[in-house]
Amino acid sequence: MTSKILKKTLVVLLSAAVLLSCGALSLLAEDPYVSYNYNPWQEAVPSQNGYIVSDTITGKEMGLDQLSDPESPLFISEDEPATLSDAKDFFLSDNNEFFIVDTGNNRIIRTDVNFNLIACYKTFTGSNLTEEAVAEDGSTYTREVTDLKAPYGIFVDEDDIMYIADRDNQRIIKCGFDCEIITEYTRPDTELYDSQSFFCTKVLVDAAKNVYVICPAVNKGAIMFSPSGNFIGYYGANRVEVTAEVIRNKIWRKFASESQQATLIRTTPVEYANFDIDDEGFIYTVTEVANISTDAVKKLNPSGNNILELTTNSANLTFGDQEAVTYSGTTYATRLTDITIGDNGLINILDYTSGRVFQYDRECNLLFIFGCDQEGQRSGFDNPNAIECLGNLIYVLDGRNNDITVFEETLFGAYVHEAVELFNRGLYEEAKDYWIEVLKRDGNYNMGYIALGRAYLNEDNYDEAIKYLKLAYEAEDYDRAFEARRQDMLRDNFTLIVILIIALIIIYLVIKRLQKKGKIPNKLIRTGIKWVIKKIEPFALRIVEGVKNR
């Protein structure tokens, strides 16, 4: 009998285990990415996902096989590749069309917002550049450069004019969809440009049609051209990161001989990795070099000055991972490879090292980190080269996997974004309910405590403000709230304080006078003092409690 009961119990337990395992696997399948954030001590803590993967787009989904299908209106040749190859960049135009720089195949792929193929651009006419070619009989001749050669970047303006960074041809092509070259931007012929090459990798155009170009060999900032193709100068150079070695070399140069100075390492700014322009015309830049902290992310005004610290009221902005990344036994530092600015002002930065996306609000508060898989470090990306965003979707281009990963906003992400938007517009009361919902779902989300604390501080509800700011370890705002509450307490009890002081003075004078005349024994004095202390004790305790809470 006992054995039967044990068998039944074992069967039930095994069945339950199987069901639980299935449930767990289902959850993992639905939410395979682990997200995290940072606490006030810059330590990584688990957090709710703001984004999850919704789709992965390859050449097959784009319909690139049409390019090799003789019956397709998009046919190019029967040996035209049906997959991407080492794609370096992509761009989302104002018309919600994607332009993918298929570097390995020397072409530009154009799709609609759902990645349905529209066109493919490979050959261009009207170039001023020439190259040597070999004829069928073995002789050489000079011909116009028509084909792309390792394109690295693209920008499309509101007039559907393409600007292509044709790296190995050392030119920027400006053309329409007919592939007729309008302007060709090449190496500036001036002493101000001291690099011998023009291996351009990224291009951007502002509202005035000025063209900005990034070349890895140029560290003076972005190379700037007028709409007609004339070299204007350099725009927004990075500063030199101040390190102990830089300071030591600077001091040593003052005393070293010419031969000794020649052996010292020259300190030069680091060149940009990528840039983007927002709806207001401000250009955001990222610097990819590992361990760089100075000017890692910048927001440049038309004069090329970094105004990010001014607009955020912070002099200690940090971006990317605050801790080193360990992958397969090797430690890597953050390398910011691309940046994109959403219509709502959200800043999305792609880290090449970890394959993670770091999202910040316009005040540079960290909102989300996503893209990390369960096993640890890389999110399935091998070469995360570029990032774009549209509405509540974020797209990441992988140059080795030759695909585009689509991330969509979660419900938790929607709560955070709505709360941030309302809060940054000064609608603190309207934002409170969203922040409360955020903290219900994620108690580690420190920004929620800060926002609620500031909201209550704005309402003069100092007790609630102190509670949330204390949880957030937000010292500056906490001090403001505490000082305001102390002032309120003193103001509310001012009359009582004055009366008590006057009463104590009168009592003291009366006691001293009567004591001199010998009319009051010491025992009676002690009893009177105890009575006074008892009366003022509640008020004193309130002051003490306020000091302790501080």
Per-domain boundaries in the chain: 39-133+141-409, 428-490, 496-549
331: pLDDT strictly greater than 80: no
Lowest mean pLDDT segment, chosen from 39-53, 107-121, 378-392, 429-443: 378-392
**pLDDT score recorded for residue 155:** 98
Q: How high does pLDDT run on average in the chain?
A: 82
Residue 64 pLDDT class (50, 70, 90 cuts)? very high
DSSP H stretches of helix in 282-410: 308-312
Residue 295: pLDDT band by 50, 70, 90 thresholds?
Answer: confident
Question: Which residue has better confidence, 529 or 37?
Answer: 37
Does the domain at 428-490 match CATH 1.10.10.10? Answer given as no
Q: Is the pLDDT of residue 373 over 70?
A: no
Angle at which helices 428-441 and 411-424 pack, to 10 degrees? 150
Which of 182-186, 261-265, 300-304, 480-484 has the least mean pLDDT? 261-265
pLDDT of 335 reads 87
pLDDT greater than 80 at residue 455: yes
306 or 512: which leads in pLDDT: 306
Would you give the DSSP letter of residue 424?
H
pLDDT value at residue 185: 97
In Å, how far from its chain's centre is CA 119?
32
Environment class of residue 207 by beta-carbon count within 10 Å: exposed (0-12), middle (13-18) or buried (19+)?
Answer: exposed
Q: Is the pLDDT of residue 74 over 80?
A: yes
Q: In this model, does residue 310 exceed pLDDT 70?
A: yes
Q: What pLDDT sits at residue 292? A: 57
The larger pLDDT score, comparing residue 250 to residue 459, is at: 459
pLDDT at 529: 66
For 152-181, write each residue's pLDDT tens digit: 999 999 999 999 999 999 999 999 999 999
b or e along 371-383 (b: 16 or more beta carbons within 10 Å of the residue's beta carbon)?
Answer: bbeeeebbbbbeb
pLDDT at 244: 44
Q: 3-state DSSP: the chain helix, strand, coil percent, rounded to 5?
A: 35, 25, 40
- SS3 track for 364-397: CCEEEEECCECCCCCCCCCCEEEEEEECCEEEEE
Distance CA 204, CA 220 (A): 17
Q: Which CATH superfamily is domain 39-133+141-409 in?
A: TolB, C-terminal domain (2.120.10.30)
Q: Is residue 327 scored above 50 in pLDDT?
A: yes
Predicted local confidence at residue 540, as pLDDT: 61
Binning pLDDT at 50, 70 and 90, where does residue 322 land?
Answer: confident
Question: What pLDDT is stored for residue 482 in this prediction?
Answer: 67
CA dist., res. 310 & res. 363, Å (int): 10
Rounded average pLDDT over 443-460: 90
pLDDT band at residue 143, thresholds of 50, 70 and 90?
A: confident
Most confident of 9-18, 29-38, 112-121, 310-319: 112-121
Task: Supply the pLDDT for residue 315.
Answer: 64
pLDDT at 246: 42
pLDDT band of 509, cuts 50, 70, 90: confident
**pLDDT of the residue at 12:** 42
pLDDT at 524: 60
Res. 497 pLDDT band, cuts 50 70 90: low
The torsion defined by the Cα of 40, 42, 46 and 51, in degrees rounded to 10, comes to 100
Looking at mean pLDDT, say which of 4-8, 40-44, 127-131, 359-363 comes out highest.
359-363
pLDDT value at 515 more than 60: yes
Residue 304 contacts by C-beta under 8 Å, 6 or more apart in sequence?
221, 235, 236, 237
DSSP state of 261: H
What are the CA-CA distances from residue 404 to residues 89, 114, 477 (Å)?
11, 12, 42
Task: Point out which residues pair with 373 in neighbouring strands.
Answer: 33
Reported confidence tier of residue 15, pLDDT bands at 50, 70, 90? very low
Mean pLDDT throughout 307-317?
A: 76
Confidence of residue 506 (pLDDT cuts 50, 70, 90): confident
> One-letter amino acid identity for 125?
T
For tokens 């009319």, name the residue.
Answer: 519
- The pLDDT-based confidence of 44 (bands split at 50, 70, 90) is confident
Residue 25 has pLDDT above 80, yes or no: no
How would residue 528 be classed by pLDDT, with cut points 50, 70 and 90?
low
Amino acid at 486: R
